[in-house]
């Protein structure tokens, strides 16, 4: 039996434009800061986070993958839920697939990827393998996976569409925001998006200021660890100040 639920989540134009100049690194840091400020009662049940590092872009894309999640659960090597979701739940969403860490089949080939791309899918993230890698890489649609494998999947009637899923230690709900780039994929709970964007913009500005300081820093005149404080992060600078007698 396959459970299928609706999903009408979407990003506003303002939210999308705010996210485009950011990076997965900045958003991950911002999410950590926001979650750290919330009391346990204020935190969402699923707090989002980064997907495992093995899930990477099939090829490099000039712009990040951004969109709301259509979640797909595919246990026991079946790809039937993904085939159904490509037809009816892909438009303007990112398909994100939990496979229960299955490693012996490929869940999607180039024909399925083409179908999704032509159906205006915003991207695909698979906690597993694909096949027909070259054909998928030629499409103008971001695809993230653990790699490629020739073996086809089954079509057992199992799993679900728009159900809560888990990839690694990260829980994903339908409608969560997904951001992917060359460093990986970050999941942001929809309820925290505004707070995370605000914090990420501040983080981006702070990082750019530090980059400028590093670019202009006079390394020839730096002789002790204390001399580098101005180009260190606050936590490292505080450590140096507190432990200068040991350095």
In order along its 247 residues, the chain shows pLDDT tens digits of 899 999 999 999 999 999 999 999 999 999 999 999 988 888 888 889 999 999 999 999 989 999 999 999 999 999 999 999 999 999 999 999 999 999 899 999 999 999 999 999 999 999 999 999 999 999 999 999 999 999 999 999 999 999 999 999 999 999 999 999 999 999 999 999 999 999 999 999 999 999 999 999 999 998 889 888 889 988 898 998 888 877 7
Q: What is the pLDDT of residue 237?
A: 87
pTM, full prediction: 0.93
User: E-assigned strands of the chain?
Assistant: 3-4, 49-50, 56-57, 65-73, 93-98, 123-126, 129-130, 143-145, 147-148, 160-161, 165-167, 170-172, 177-181, 184-188
Q: What is the pLDDT of residue 212?
A: 94
d(C-alpha 184, C-alpha 181), whole Å: 5
């Amino acid at each position: 039996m396959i459970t299928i639920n609706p999903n009408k989540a979407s990003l506003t134009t303002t939210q999308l434009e705010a996210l485009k100049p950011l990076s997965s690194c900045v958003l991950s840091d911002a999410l950590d800061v926001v979650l750290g400020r919330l009391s346990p009662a204020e935190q969402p049940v699923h707090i989002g986070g980064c997907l495992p590092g093995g899930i990477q872009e099939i090829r490099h894309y000039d712009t990040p993958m951004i969109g709301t999640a259509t979640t797909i659960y595919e246990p026991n090597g079946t790809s039937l839920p993904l085939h159904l979701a490509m037809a009816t739940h892909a438009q303007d969403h990112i398909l994100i697939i939990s496979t229960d860490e299955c490693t012996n089949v490929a869940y999607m080939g180039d024909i399925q990827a083409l179908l999704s791309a032509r159906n205006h899918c915003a991207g695909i993230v698979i906690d597993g393998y694909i096949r027909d890698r070259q054909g998928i890489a030629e499409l103008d649609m971001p695809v993230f996976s653990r790699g490629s494998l020739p073996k086809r999947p089954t079509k057992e009637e199992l799993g679900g569409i728009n159900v809560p899923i888990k990839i690694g230690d990260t829980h994903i709900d339908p409608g969560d925001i997904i951001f992917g780039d060359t460093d990986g994929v970050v999941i942001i709970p929809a309820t925290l998006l505004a707070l995370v964007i605000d914090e990420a913009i501040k983080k981006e500005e702070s990082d750019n200021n530090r980059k400028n300081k590093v670019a202009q820093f006079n390394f020839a005149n730096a002789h002790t660890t204390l001399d580098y404080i101005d180009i260190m992060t606050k936590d490292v600078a505080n450590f140096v100040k507190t432990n200068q007698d040991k350095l």
